[in-house]
């Protein structure tokens, strides 16, 4: 049976992708950072096991820190063996703040969580992935394709994610590792659910397809990437036409 690691899989897009991994037959390792996410992650684990009959475990780790990433990968290897078939780098945070007002530790946290964590995880997982037809998928954003006001640090990180994936795709194609990124547009997550209906309608009106996307659409993009053997180095952007590549 195939094995997968997903970071940031307790809610929203990450939860939908974790469930998709289970549906596709992967044993799943999900990380969570804070104690407040523990129960949410355990609920996802239970749902994966009950629905799809695969194994799944939760590991607490702050993926912005190399040693925590190492603990996460070691836990996966201990649980499921020395073959990692899919790595889904999804963990991310945002400040949503005017750049002048941002303290350096806050924008460093965004860079470390949204970009450096993915470098750590790729570095640690690749030895268990090479020469076996495996896949790395990283969550970028339309913010990595275009600028967003009050998101300078976030956009910088997500642009970096796309560059990382393209470079690794070229480097590891000869060793049978495909590397791609998903750049979601506006997706209905907890953050958007807190916006009032008038603001939601205004947001939807800016999207050519006329509606905000659902997390399952990002999980569908993940499924396509994982099952497309000729796809590497690409950015798949489900965004309703909001950004055209």
The residues that are catalytic are 154
Which residues are CB-neighbours of 171 under 8 A, at least 6 positions away?
none
Neighbours of 66 (CB within 10 A): 15
> How many residues make up the chain in this entry?
245
The CA R_g of the chain, rounded to the nearest whole Å, is 17
Spatial contact of 186 and 159, defined as CB atoms under 8 Å apart: no
Which residues are CB-neighbours of 116 under 8 A, at least 6 positions away?
64
Spatial contact of 59 and 18, defined as CB atoms under 8 Å apart: no
Would you call 150 helix, strand, or coil by DSSP?
Answer: coil
d(CA 236, CA 99): 28
Alpha helices in 84-205 (DSSP H): 104-111, 117-125, 152-172, 190-193, 197-205
Would you call 194 helix, strand, or coil by DSSP?
Answer: coil
Would you call 10 helix, strand, or coil by DSSP?
Answer: coil
């Amino acid at each position: 049976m195939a094995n997968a690691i997903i970071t940031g899989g307790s809610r929203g897009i990450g939860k939908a992708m974790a469930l998709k991994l289970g549906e596709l037959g992967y044993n799943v390792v999900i990380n969570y950072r804070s104690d407040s996410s523990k129960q949410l992650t355990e609920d996802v684990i239970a749902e994966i096991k009950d629905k799809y009959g695969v194994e799944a475990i939760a590991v607490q780790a702050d993926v912005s820190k190399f040693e925590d990433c190492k603990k996460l990968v070691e836990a996966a290897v201990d649980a499921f063996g020395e073959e990692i078939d899919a790595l889904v780098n999804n963990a991310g945070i945002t400040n949503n703040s005017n750049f002048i007002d941002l303290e350096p530790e806050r924008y460093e946290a965004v860079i470390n969580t949204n970009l450096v964590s993915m470098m750590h995880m790729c570095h640690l997982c690749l030895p268990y992935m090479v020469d076996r037809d495996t896949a790395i998928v990283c969550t970028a954003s339309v913010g990595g394709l275009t600028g967003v006001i009050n998101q300078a640090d976030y956009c910088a990180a997500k642009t970096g994610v796309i560059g990382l994936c393209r470079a690794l795709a070229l480097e590891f194609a000869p060793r049978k590792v495909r590397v791609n990124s998903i750049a979601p547009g506006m997706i209905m997550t907890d953050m958007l659910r807190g916006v009032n209906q008038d603001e939601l309608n205004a947001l939807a009106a800016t999207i050519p397809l006329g509606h905000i996307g659902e997390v399952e659409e990002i999980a569908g993009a993940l499924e396509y990437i994982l099952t497309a053997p000729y796809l590497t180095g690409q950015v798949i952007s489900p965004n309703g036409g909001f950004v055209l590549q």
